[in-house]
């Protein structure tokens, strides 16, 4: 059986915790456009490993603290909790 | 600059274009077959036309550069700006066509009917006026403050990326309309097919000119920056996706073309290829624009 996994992130929360850093500010610091940050936050785009590391580094966190994988089972459990 | 001097530029341009139209009207009435004496009013008006064209050419160039400068900071209504860039570029280049047509009229009016040439001249004059009027109307909405074009590239500016594809999209769509008109024989006022093909190639080049100019401006401005940083990773991915879909479309229509030739339907290959090319440009830009929406 193939396990379906979704690429998720806490970027919005982390940005908020970092003195409400704006998308544009983060985009400028990692050298991408605001649209890219927006798409990552909305989980419409999975960033490259390099970009993921850069973003984590900006917030002085490990990559897995910013980005994580969620299995379909987790998704269902989370949905039930909600 | 455009915001500050828009009234002055527009009023002077409007006066010049009206004067130009009046001169053309006088010429059309006066220069008839058999009339080979150049009277002093004709000579004076011919001389007056030269500074008019030079001034209009300078205005077009200034406006185009000002519009390009606005692109990185234009967060609202970027499509209006992209359309402005296309209109000013095409209007500017057709100023040269005006001069060519005038020169043709000067050589041919004694022996041939030049009615079509006059229609083209009046059409272009109206087009210059409408293009400048459009710029005047949108200039209020232009956001000129903010990021400079040269700084924008470092962060893969969304507005520049969007404008590039909007310009490609407008050119692609106009090119598609033009080639369709030729393919379905709507445009067949010329006797020889070779002239008609030449005309379509010239029009296609004209339609693609805004894209070429925008890319050239981009390349010149960013020549010292590594090419791989011109787009960020998402922008590159969207571009590749757009190209992939367009190529798939090209493959399918290629198969359709082979099928049509098998069942005996003949189409002009040059028209067909140009039409496919413009459709593919439109597909690429529409797909990229739809996915580039930033809230």
Q: Which residues of A touch B294 (CB under 8 A)?
A: 34-35, 38
Rounded to the nearest 10 degrees, the angle between the axes of helix A34-41 and helix A23-30 is 110
Q: Is A7 helix (H, G, I), strand (E, B) or coil?
A: strand
Judge whether residue B72 has pLDDT over 70.
yes
Whether residue A45 lies within 8 A of chain B, CB to CB, comes out as: yes
Q: Does A39 touch chain B (CB under 8 A)?
A: yes
Residues of B within 8 A of A31 (CB-CB) are 154-156, 229, 232
| B190 vs B283: which has the higher pLDDT | B283
Domain hosting A53: range is: 5-81
| List of chain A residues with pLDDT < 50 | none
pTM score of the predicted model? 0.80
Phi first, then psi: give them for residue A75, nearest 5 degrees. -60, -45
The helix/strand/coil state of A8 is strand
List pLDDT tens digits, range A53-66: 999 999 999 999 99
- Residue B176's pLDDT band, with cuts at 50, 70 and 90, is very high
Question: Which residue is closest to A46 within chain B, CA to CA?
Answer: B234
- Under 8 Å between Cβ of B176 and B279: yes
Interface touch B234/A48, C-beta < 8 Å? no
Q: How far apart are the first and last CA of chain A?
A: 27
pLDDT for res B147: 57
pLDDT digits 0-9 by tens, B87-97: 999 999 888 88
Mark out the alpha helices in chain A (DSSP H runs): 11-17, 23-30, 34-41, 49-58, 63-66, 72-81
Chain mean pLDDT for chain B: 83
A-chain CB neighbours of B232 within 8 Å are 31-33, 36
**Whose CA is closest to B274, among B219, B196, B214, B213?**
B196
CATH of the domain at A71: 1.10.260.40
Option in A28, A38, A48 nearest B294 (CB) = A38
Residue A33 and residue B158: Cβ atoms within 8 Å?
yes
Which residues of chain A does B75 touch, with a Cβ-Cβ cutoff of 8 Å?
none
Torsion sign, CA atoms A52, A55, A56, A57 = positive
Report how many domains make up chain A.
1
Look at B282 and B44; give whichever has higher pLDDT.
B282
Q: What is the DSSP letter of A3?
A: P
The torsion angle over the Cα atoms of residues B86, B89, B95 and B100, rounded to 10 degrees, is -90
Q: Any CB–CB contact under 8 A between A27 and chain B?
A: yes
- Which are the contacts of B60, defined by CB distance < 8 A and separation ≥ 6? B88, B91, B92, B95
pLDDT given at position B79: 85
Which helix (H) or strand (E) element contains residue B101? helix B78-108
Q: What is the pLDDT of residue B191?
A: 59
Closest residue on chain B to A37 (Cα): B234
Q: What is the mean pLDDT of residues B255-281?
A: 87
* pLDDT of amino acid A46: 92
- Evaluate if residue B224 carries a pLDDT over 80: no
Residue B134 CA to residue B63 CA, distance in Å, equals 12
Contacts of B158 in chain A (CB under 8 A): 33-35
């Amino acid at each position: 059986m193939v396990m379906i996994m979704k690429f998720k992130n806490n970027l919005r929360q982390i940005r908020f915790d970092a003195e409400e850093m704006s998308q544009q500010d983060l985009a400028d610091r990692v050298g991408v456009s605001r649209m890219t940050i927006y798409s990552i936050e909305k989980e419409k785009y999975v960033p490259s490993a390099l970009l993921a590391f850069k973003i984590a580094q900006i917030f002085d966190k490990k990559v897995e603290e910013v980005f994580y994988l969620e299995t379909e089972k987790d998704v269902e459990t989370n949905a039930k909790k909600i | 600059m455009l915001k500050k001097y828009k009234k002055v530029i527009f009023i002077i341009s409007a006066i010049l274009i009206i004067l130009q139209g009046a001169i053309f009207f006088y010429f059309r009435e006066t220069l008839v077959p058999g009339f080979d004496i150049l009277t002093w009013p004709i000579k004076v008006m011919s001389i007056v036309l030269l500074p008019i064209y030079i001034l209009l050419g300078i205005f077009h160039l200034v406006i185009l550069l000002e519009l390009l400068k606005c692109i990185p900071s234009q967060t609202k209504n970027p499509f209006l700006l992209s359309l402005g860039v296309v209109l000013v570029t095409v209007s500017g280049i057709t100023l040269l066509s005006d001069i060519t047509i005038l020169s043709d009229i000067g050589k041919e009016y004694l022996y041939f009917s030049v009615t079509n040439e006059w229609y083209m001249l009046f059409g272009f004059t109206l087009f210059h006026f409408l293009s400048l009027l459009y710029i005047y109307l949108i200039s209020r909405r232009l956001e000129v403050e903010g990021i400079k074009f040269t700084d924008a590239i470092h962060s893969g500016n969304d507005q520049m990326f969007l404008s590039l594809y909007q310009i490609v999209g407008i050119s692609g769509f106009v090119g598609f309309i033009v080639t369709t008109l030729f393919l379905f024989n709507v445009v067949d006022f010329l006797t020889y097919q070779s002239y008609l093909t030449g005309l379509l190639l010239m029009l296609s080049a004209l339609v693609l000119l805004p894209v070429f100019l925008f890319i050239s401006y981009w390349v010149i401005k960013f020549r010292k920056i590594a090419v791989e940083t011109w787009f960020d990773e998402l922008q590159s991915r969207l571009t590749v996706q757009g190209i992939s879909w367009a190529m798939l479309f090209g493959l399918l229509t290629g198969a359709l073309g082979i099928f049509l030739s098998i069942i005996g339907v003949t189409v002009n290959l040059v028209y067909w290829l140009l039409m496919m090319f413009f459709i593919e440009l439109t597909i690429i830009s529409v797909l990229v624009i739809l996915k580039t929406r930033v809230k």
